[in-house]
Chain A
Amino acid sequence: MNRRTAGLAIAGSLLSALALSAAPAAAEGTEKCYGISLAGQNDCASAGGNSCAGTSKIDYDKAAWKLVPAGSCATTMVTLPDGSTRAGSLEPIGS
């Protein structure tokens, strides 16, 4: 392989790698858990309501999520203002 074909192979790899990397890697061992974060302590976006990390306005917002260790979301219990308890959810919680 001469220098030019080697260079083209590298260019091909670089472009393929860029295409493969459209979605950034997520941390392993975590899952998005909805409905358990305190106001201002959510990790990122939810459907409407707020735009990103730390911007949820109410405690235990059903649409705001927090990253938690994988497998622990469904067993994370929170106590709501009305005294009832609710587990976290892997999907936004419907009203």
Chain B
Amino acid sequence: MTSPDSLNSEAGFARALWDARLPRPAGVIGRAGRPAADRFDIHRNNIFASLTAALRARFPVVVRLVGEAFFADMAAIFIRRHPPVSPVIMEYGGAFAAFLKEFDAVGALPYLADIARLEWLRHLAAHGADAVPADLSPLARLAPSAMAELRFTLHPTATALSSAYPVASIWRANAVAPDLQPVLADSAGESVLIVRPHRQVLLLDLPPAGDVLIAALQEGRTLGDAAALAAARDLDFDLTLTLAALFRGGAITGFAPGHSSSN
């Protein structure tokens, strides 16, 4: 039944859920036809509580850095500004990092938005498509001249994140290390590879411009071209360490020799 009236009341119901200052919608009744304002309030509270719980689970290091109470208040503001756009709660929270970047109250923690980006990418990797890492042993038998012409297929969950802040060190110190090691927030920026080759999401350190190489490989460029792009970004680009991170992380699911131009 979608008469204009019921549409209006649905929209009004939804608006009242998001804004507690609005009157509760008419027609919300409980047992014996009595108005059920309390029940409406409970429903509203459940929405905020469940979305806050989803954010807390998705951004545990952000929670730890700002504290539970602050996070809950911040989440309430975020949820009002960015209500879910999908009915799938797994997809909620993608706008959180951008929100943190603009949120004045966390201005003293300039790295917080990048920590949220890292946690969001870990979340996406956790729920991304499965794929089997390739057996790389045949690579060693290729002619050296053919190696620069290789094109790699990267794992669907593989993403590189580059930050002006030591995001991986901060994340590890708060998520993993049982004995907390201090991290200097103003030490050098870090790049990481996030990938989930099997059941666990991995976080592997990348050298500077490692993210450039990975992005170029994802675009389908040859290893030689991708390495040249990364070296253009960082003169001391370390190809070995970047490839080792990709290989150790199971981030390569296929490779093709490519069309060599030399013969």
* CB <8 Å contact, B147 and A21: no
A6 to chain B, nearest CB (A): 7
- How many interface residues does A have (CB within 8 Å)? 27
Contact (A21, B178) CB under 8 Å given A10-B148, A15-B140: no
| B209 close to A (CB within 8 Å) | no
Query: What residues of chain A lie closer than 8 Å to B224, measured between beta carbons?
Result: 6-7, 10
Contact (A14, B178) CB under 8 Å given A21-B136, A67-B200: no
Q: A12-44 interface mask toward B, CB cutoff 8 Å, 1 = contact, 0 = none? A: 111111101101111111100000000000000
Query: What residues of chain A lie closer than 8 Å to B249, measured between beta carbons?
Result: 24-25
| A47 close to B (CB within 8 Å) | no
- How many interface residues does B have (CB within 8 Å)? 34
* CB <8 Å contact, A20 and B240: yes
* CB <8 Å contact, A30 and B147: no
Of all chain A residues, the one with the shortest Cβ separation from B143 is A11
Q: B218-246 interface mask toward A, CB cutoff 8 Å, 1 = contact, 0 = none? A: 00000110011000000000011111101
Query: What residues of chain B lie closer than 8 Å to A23, measured between beta carbons?
Result: 248
Query: What residues of chain B lie closer than 8 Å to A71, measured between beta carbons?
Result: 178
B167 to chain A, nearest CB (A): 14
8 Å CB interface, B157-206 against A: 172, 175-176, 178, 197, 200-204
Contact (A28, B250) CB under 8 Å given A15-B140, A16-B240, A70-B176: no
